[in-house]
Amino acid sequence: MPWFSTEQYSERIQIAGLTAGHDAVETTGDPTRGSFSTYCFRGGRLAGVESINHPTEHMTARRLLAAGIRVEARDVRRSGFEPHRLLADPVRSAA
């Protein structure tokens, strides 16, 4: 799985997966404060995650992508979304 990480001045930018051609996006964190992640979906499946100053959640999302764990936009939209819980969910599979 491709990934990228850089620091530009005070900003930490991280990308995992391939987000080009996505057809849906869900955001976590607080873009107005400069700390957030965007989850990009293609055909209902998580294709990649782009994060600004949101390293802990980004690394968890990267693990989800690498493991092929099914993540849907509605999961991210759900109030109280905690991506680390999906890693521990035995029902999720790389379907």
Question: What's the number of domains the chain is made of?
Answer: 1
pLDDT (tens digit per residue) in 22-80: 999 999 999 999 999 999 999 999 999 999 999 999 999 999 999 999 999 999 999 99
The CATH number of whichever domain residue 44 belongs to comes to 3.30.390.30
DSSP run (H or E) holding 38: strand 35-42
Q: Say what the pLDDT of residue 93 is.
A: 60
With 0.75 as the threshold, say if the pTM is over it. Answer: yes
pLDDT (tens digit per residue) in 2-24: 999 999 999 999 999 999 999 99
In a domain, 92, yes or no: no
Q: Say what the pLDDT of residue 94 is.
A: 54
Sheet of strand 45-52, all strands in order from the earlier edge strand to the far edge: 3-8, 11-17, 45-52, 35-42, 24-30
